Chain A
Amino acid sequence: MAESLEKLHNRILSDAKLKAAGIVEQAEDKSRQILGEAQAQAQRDADDILSRASLEAESIRRSILSSRIRANRLRILDEKNKIVQSILRTVEKSLSDIASSDQFDSTLKRFVAEAVEAVGTDNVLVKIGFRNADKKSLQSLGQSLPKGTKLIAQETAVDDLGGVVASDPEGKTIFNNSFRARLERLDNELLTTISSAIFGE
């Protein structure tokens, strides 16, 4: 009786210890699982933070650089434009003073001939006006014009800078061969010529 009671006592304790060990082991397994999942989640969180940081960094870099580069491009364009405008002012001054140069007679004849030919009718009306031009020399040009051409020498420069305007008697066909009109017609070539001479472009 005493022996079987001792066995029962031992078995009860043995079962309890076994159960206790199982409970602790299960808790330890769960603990490892919790830590493992936490580490994996922590890694995902960190990756996410750093990934967003990369995007934010790129955005900051672009914001700083693009605005500065754009501003510098504008400074370059502005400077080029100032240079071209300065040259154009010199060109306009030279053109408006052409009456006092030795190129005047040949230029005048060529401009008039071009304008008369462009209008392409008889009895063309030609208006001429240059700053500081001798009226007599303008009127003497009339002798070299086709018969029927009427020459009007203005006191003032045509379109401010000087030039020639030809039209048919009714004023339906007009060809403006003033310096201003030629500057506008040759705008692109002019910019190319100036850019090439200054910047080698």
Chain B
Amino acid sequence: MSGIEAVRKIVETEAQAKRIVEEAESKAQEILASASEQARNVRQASTAEAEQRKVQRLRETREKAEADARSSDAETDSLLENYKKLFENGKVVAAQKAVELILGG
């Protein structure tokens, strides 16, 4: 092999080596780009799921609070009905006792 041919072969080999490294760098860029994309997707999916759970939680809380409020209304209605009965049953005695108190006999 002549000296010129040897130099040419070395140059070709260097070029081949350079391509190998460049391909690796390109692959590395792809890997990093893919990782960034996956990271973005992970965060978006996680946020979307959390927002969905938040909406669900708020809806459940509102429904439970409304149910509790309706229960409070019903209890109050029942109590007021009971007051009407107590009034009818006790109004004469209550007035008599109050008059006796004022007369102070």
CB distance from B1 to the nearest CB of A (A): 5
- Of A32, A35, A49, A110, which one neighbours B50 at CB under 8 angstroms? A49
Q: Could you say which residues of chain A place their CB within 8 Å of the CB of B62?
A: 60-61, 64
Q: Could you say which residues of chain A place their CB within 8 Å of the CB of B65?
A: 60-61, 64-65
Number of contacting residues on B, CB 8 A? 66
Q: Could you say which residues of chain B place their CB within 8 Å of the CB of A75?
A: 76, 80
**A60 lies within 8 A of B99 (CB):** no
Q: Could you say which residues of chain A place their CB within 8 Å of the CB of B35?
A: 30-32, 34-35
Interchain Cβ contacts within 8 Å, total number? 209
12 contacts between A and B (CB under 8 A): A12-B10, A12-B17, A13-B13, A20-B23, A27-B28, A56-B54, A60-B61, A183-B102, A190-B101, A198-B94, A199-B86, A200-B86
Residues of A within 8 A of B (CB): 1-2, 5, 8-9, 12-13, 15-17, 19-21, 23-24, 26-28, 30-32, 34-35, 37-39, 41-43, 45-46, 49-50, 52-54, 56-58, 60-61, 64-65, 68-69, 72, 75-76, 79-80, 83, 86-88, 90-91, 94-95, 98, 103, 106-107, 110, 179, 182-183, 186, 189-190, 193-194, 197-200
Residues of B within 8 A of A (CB): 1, 6, 9-10, 13-14, 16-18, 20-21, 23-25, 27-29, 31-32, 34-36, 38-40, 42-43, 45-47, 49-51, 53-54, 57-58, 61-62, 64-66, 68-69, 72-73, 75-76, 79-80, 83, 86-87, 90-91, 93-95, 97-99, 101-105
